[in-house]
Amino acid sequence: MRVILLGPPGAGKGTQAHRLVERHGIPQLSTGDMLRAAIHAGTEIGVKAKTLMDAGALVPDDVVNAIVAERIDQPDCADGFILDGFPRTLGQADATAAMLSERGLHLDCVIEFKVDDDVLVERISGRYTCANCGAGYHDPNLVPKVDGVCDRCGSTEFKRRPDDNPNTVRTRLQAYYKETSPLLGYYYAKGLLTAVDGMLDVDAVTAQIEGVLARL
Ligand code: AP5
Ligand code: ZN
């Protein structure tokens, strides 16, 4: 199964991708996570990407296309993958189509997350993760059971993404509407697009997505 999760920043793509990984046993390919790993590792790509990401701007197509092309050839992608945050421009969508057809593969569906802008800003502003295991939290919607202690690993260290601040969120939303929203028409025209109501709670969104996948 090859699925694209498409939606604005904070829509819940990463949250749902993690659940799909657990249920379907195929990997999540998040270009945001890959770029953050490159920044952490101090690679040339990471150094270039950091300034753009911190400002909320998109990283050039050729950079992300190359990262994804390399990743989908890994053995764990043989039975499929979930693309989270990629493609994000029409150029990336064309590159995705080329990458798949060169390998004799096809896309099963594109799931659009519909969420109001004010909710996106609220979700992103409250987001933080465990610095040790990466478990995701949100203040005040999803806090650890014991204050300041990660439910999953017991760590007391938490972190926030540098691009999760109100100014950068606005730039990221603008980038979404300008560069990424044209992909909705692109995939609709191919008969691949299905929308879910991303305003619902996390379990309800998962149920909608599972309903879409069950119909494939
Ligand atoms: P990336 O890392 O992809 O971030 P994003 O698209 O901005 O998406 P987010 O991770 O912010 O949101 P999400 O939809 O995953 O929401 P989440 O599940 O975390 O990209 C970052 C940057 O990298 C870009 O700005 C760009 O610079 C660069 N980049 C990445 N890919 C690129 C590409 N292809 N081309 C060019 N540049 C690229 O949820 C958010 C919060 O809400 C969490 O706290 C969560 O707990 C909560 N939540 C989730 N679902 C619900 C729900 N249903 N109800 C209540 N709360 C919820
Ligand atoms: Zn943890």
Domain count for the chain:
1
Here the tokens at position 151 are 């439910």
Q: Give the confidence band of 142 by pLDDT, cuts at 50, 70, 90.
A: confident
Interval 203-213: pLDDT, tens: 999 999 999 99
Contact indicator for 44, 74 with CB cutoff of 8 Å: no
Interval 4-24: pLDDT, tens: 999 999 999 999 999 999 999
Q: What is the mean pLDDT of residues 25-39?
A: 96
Rounded CA separation 23/215 (Å): 16
In a 10 Å sphere around its CB, with 0-12 CB exposed, 13-18 middle and 19+ buried, how is residue 90 labelled?
A: middle
Of ligand 1's atoms, which has the minimum distance to the CA of residue 88? 34
Here the tokens at position 150 are 């990660």
Domain that holds residue 26: 2-214
Interval 44-76: pLDDT, tens: 999 999 999 999 999 999 999 999 999 999 999
The DSSP letter of residue 75 is G
| Residue 84 CA from chain centroid, whole number | 3
Q: Give the confidence band of 141 by pLDDT, cuts at 50, 70, 90.
A: confident
Interval 96-117: pLDDT, tens: 999 999 999 999 999 999 999 9
Tell me the three state secondary structure of residue 204: helix
Q: Is 127 annotated as a binding residue?
A: yes
Pocket (CB within 6 angstroms of ligand 1): 7, 9-15, 31-32, 35, 52-53, 56-59, 64, 85-86, 88, 92, 123-124, 126-127, 136, 138, 141-142, 163, 172, 200-202, 205
Specify the length of the chain in residues: 216
| Nearest CA-CA partner of 87 in 191, 20, 194, 184 | 184
**CATH code of the domain covering residue 87:** 3.40.50.300
What's residue 85's pLDDT? Answer: 97
Asked whether the predicted pLDDT for residue 194 surpasses 90, the reply is yes
Query: For the chain, what percent of residues have pLDDT higher than 70?
Result: 100
| Nearest CA-CA partner of 6 in 96, 109, 116 | 109
